[in-house]
Structure 1
Amino acid sequence: MSKTAETPQYDTVRAPGCPFDPAPALRAAQAEGPVTRVRMWDGSTPWLVTGHAEHRALLVDQRCSVDHSRPGMPRTNQGAPETMTEAEVQQMTAMLKDKSIPGFSFILMDDPEHARLRRMVSGAFSVRRIDEMRPAVQRIVDRFLDELLAGPKPVDLVEAFALPVPSLVISELLGVPYGDHEYFERYSKQLANRTSTTVQRIDAQIKLGEYLDGLIDERLANPGDDLLSTLAARVNAGELPRAEAVSMGMLILYAGHETTASMIALGTLALLEHPDQLALLRDSDDPAVVASAVEELLRYLTIVHGGLLRVALADIELGGKLIREGEGIIVVSEVANRDSAVFADPDRLDIRRDARGQLSFGYGVHSCVGQPLARLELEIAFSTLLRRIPTLRLATEMEKIPFKHDGIIYGVYELPVTW
């Protein structure tokens, strides 16, 4: 029997009735061992890393590359940017170049170029800078809750709260007019949907790129106190190509609202389905309890689907297996965050557990640069929502909640609630 026939299919589909748990296929792979082979839609058989320790080890290993143009890089979803053929990549690059829009972000670059570009934006997300934003984020959260409470019931918490809060926060930090939120949210959703065609993804990237390019133009002429102005100053000084400044702005705008919005909505639903945990969080005014709850929700839910993709630049021994140079690797956080060797009773939501070792933001040099801001928004959003609406409850049956099974970022499309 061939290796391909013996190798299980890579599958991230969650089981019906278990929307908070990783896909059964991923759990089965983890039970087999921390490093196993999987078969992709195109017939390739990359390595799947499901163990927590192996996850951390691989993401700091300089013998791995994140460069998606390298041969051997896994292609997880047919039609997604990382799954394009070489011809499709060339076609997309040509189309984007024709529009003067960069094709890929610095997060898909290896060091030292990745580190150089990352430093240009990391200062805006330092713990000190983000903590200074706390009063402003609190005002934004209260503003949308004021509007929600003054309106009719039931209400879609995604539309009324979970999405607009991070959209406004990232708009103010980046320097994007919030009045344009419907525009950038529309094309962000197009990028996040795994069923989008290559043409749809190209169109979304061009639309967002042209939009950010226009804002860079404005900041070159009239700089302000925002991150786009910082990037424009780098362009003006000859330190950063304009196309890369646009790419970085696109990444921050997209990632800065789509992921946090999904976590707010899905985290609220998880708490509503675990009323004992909701009560612990709602009734506590201890910041440490709130911070602990956020870490546990990040661990328990792990909303990034598809895994972190790598290709080996040299032979690597990991988890008792030998990964050969040129072979692809998929690192899946949703099962690494349920590794019983690290988290006792990992399938239980327990906001009192120490979940600081969770891997939802990645690990190592490519970990999420915006994680301090995401944590701040989640802490304020959850604690304020539950304090101000202590009787919050679902306004529909759990079985009728539309989950984002087709999304790169997992969550819910709608969350009808009342009180």
Structure 2
Amino acid sequence: MNERVKRIVHLVLVADCVILLIYASFTYFIPFLNSVVHPSRYIKTNDSVLNVSLLSFDHGEAASKTISLPRGTKVQLQESSDTTSKVEYDGAIFAVDNANLATSLTECVDTEYVYPRRMINLFDQKDGELTDAVADKGEQLEVVSVSPDDLDVSTGVVKWYEVTKNDKTYWVPGAYVESQKALADKNYGSNIQYLTYWDEYYGSGYSKDAYIDQIDYKPMIKQQYEDNVMPDVVNAYHVSLSNLINHEQELLKLKDKSAINAFVVEIKNDDGTIFYDSQVAKKFLKNPQEAVDGSVSLEQLDALFTRFEDAGYYMIARIVTFKDPVFAKQNPKEAYTDQSGNLIMHDGYYWPSAFSRKAWRYNVALAMEIAPFVNEIQFDYVRFPDGTLQNSLDGTGDFHNKYDESKVAALQGFLSYAHTLLADQHVYVGA
């Protein structure tokens, strides 16, 4: 190899080394240097979101806007003082109290106590069974453990806290508790209007207690699942499961000649009949054969709904909830009865009590069983039987109100419980 070629090869090698050094500096060294000069911090707040005001100028006029930073949001530290620090987030630089900055996500969720915003039943384990143990609104619950993995940094909500009560360990959903008692006791329903109609029957102050004091009005973020997108407009056709099967080909073509883009499919009806081979019924009913029409297996149900979803339909499973004579007859202590425990037939049906936690667990367990196959669960008859006021006043009717709840509080409690478990399935909840 002559000298000229050697020089060219040498220059190429040097150039390659320079390029590699430049690449390495941009890829590794500069980010490393930036992380040292501007280390990462995480938003820590007693609430799920920290609101920060930003000053700006619009056509020479001073203006301000508020940005919301969920707990756990990652920011870059720019400058620090004894009480506040300047941080950068999404191109904006602003001041934050040092008390609202943490060095890790573990520090963000570190809290000694949590306080429910309303009375809530505790769980035996994370994503587990609902227990009969309750915590009252504003009650102090000592936190045993909380995992940073349970922090949703997009909302700032902690999914689960492990807590103790009466020397026993339970789990409580983070969506319904606060880390400060003042936040739990706050009246989020201050702008809610309600009628005092029921005071005439139950006494002064009853309506406020029923509709305001026992209810959690703190706004919640509407769920949106990337793997289960709800259509902007849902035009649904209500159909029985048998008709969905028997007229499958005709119904699959319905969207081609109408605006129908969804089906509400009857899974459990007013008679308490479950139209597939449910394993859940065997756990909650002494005689599950009275409820289960086992002509459709879970595998067949899965395949059926998949064909409709693949065809572009949004599939909703309807579960009649607190109108269920089968459950009521087999669980009279969980149903509407007289003072002697005898079932009361109302409008031709026996009714489970919406106060009953076993009725809650039964219907949510059914929803969980079919959740993998559908887009949404629609709970129907989420109410008490109407026209029972006189029976309540004269004591001839008994809904077995174990926790001394208002009716609306019981219904909100049921839907909150359903939402807690079904959210993990990325299934929407309607009622």
- TM-score, reference length from structure 2: 0.25
Q: State which structure, 1 or 2, has the greater radius of gyration over its C-alpha atoms.
A: 2
Which of 1 and 2 has higher RCO (CA within 8 Å, sep 6+)? 1
